[in-house]
Amino acid sequence: MLVVALLVISYILIATFILIISNPEQKKLRHFYLFINCIIILWEVFPFLKPIDSNVLKIVYDWLPLMLLPLFYRETEILTSAFNKIHYDEQFIHFERKYCMWVMNFHHNNRGNSLLLSEFLHLCYLFFYLFIYGVPLFFYLRQEFVAFYECQFVILLLLFSCYITHSIIPACGPRNIFEKIKDRRSQGIIFRVTHKLLQDGSATGTAFPSGHTGVASAILLTTGYLHTPLFYYILPFGIGLIISTIYGRFHYVIDMVFGFLYAFIAFLVATSLAPYY
Q: Per-residue pLDDT tens for 242-274?
A: 999 999 999 999 999 999 999 999 999 999 998
The Cα–Cα gap between 48 and 61 comes to 12
Q: How far apart are the first and last CA of the chain?
A: 6
Percent of the chain's residues with pLDDT above 90? 71
The reported pLDDT for the residue numbered 50 is: 84
Residue 81 half-sphere exposure, CB side, CA atoms within 13 Å?
13
For residue 102, the SS3 value is helix
Q: Is the confidence at residue 157, as pLDDT, over 80?
A: yes
Higher pLDDT, 12 or 276: 12
Fill in the amino acid letter for 199: Q
**pLDDT tier at 226 (50, 70, 90 boundaries)?**
very high
| Cis omega (within 30 of 0) for bond into 209 | yes
Q: Is the confidence at residue 108, as pLDDT, over 70?
A: no
Name 218's Cβ contacts closer than 8 Å, sequence gap at least 6. 154, 155, 158, 263, 266, 267
Contact 242, 217 (CB under 8 A): yes
Q: How many CB atoms lie within 10 A of CB 157?
A: 24
Contact 110, 183 (CB under 8 A): yes
**pLDDT tier at 83 (50, 70, 90 boundaries)?**
confident
Q: Is the confidence at residue 216, as pLDDT, over 80?
A: yes
Q: How far is CA 35 from CA 65, 92, 164, in A?
A: 17, 35, 19
Contact 60, 52 (CB under 8 A): no
The Cα–Cα gap between 152 and 75 comes to 20
In this structure, the dihedral spanned by the alpha carbons of residues 204, 210, 214 and 217, taken in order and rounded to 10 degrees, is: 140
The reported pLDDT for the residue numbered 272 is: 95
Instruction: Tell me, yes or no, if the pTM score tops 0.85.
Output: yes
The Cα–Cα gap between 115 and 81 comes to 37
The Cα–Cα gap between 86 and 118 comes to 32
**pLDDT tier at 103 (50, 70, 90 boundaries)?**
confident
Domain that holds residue 43: 2-276
The reported pLDDT for the residue numbered 265 is: 98
The mean pLDDT value of the chain amounts to 92
Looking at residues 152-166, what average pLDDT do you find? Answer: 97
Fill in the amino acid letter for 16: T
Closest of 155, 123, 161 to residue 136, by C-alpha: 155
Number of structural domains in the chain = 1
> Burial, 44: exposed, middle or buried (Cβ in 10 Å; 0-12, 13-18, 19+)?
buried
Name 152's Cβ contacts closer than 8 Å, sequence gap at least 6. 4, 62, 65, 66, 136
Q: Is the confidence at residue 6, as pLDDT, over 70?
A: yes
pLDDT tens digits along 110-128:
777 889 999 999 999 999 9
Query: Using only C-alpha atoms, what is the Rg of the chain?
Result: 19
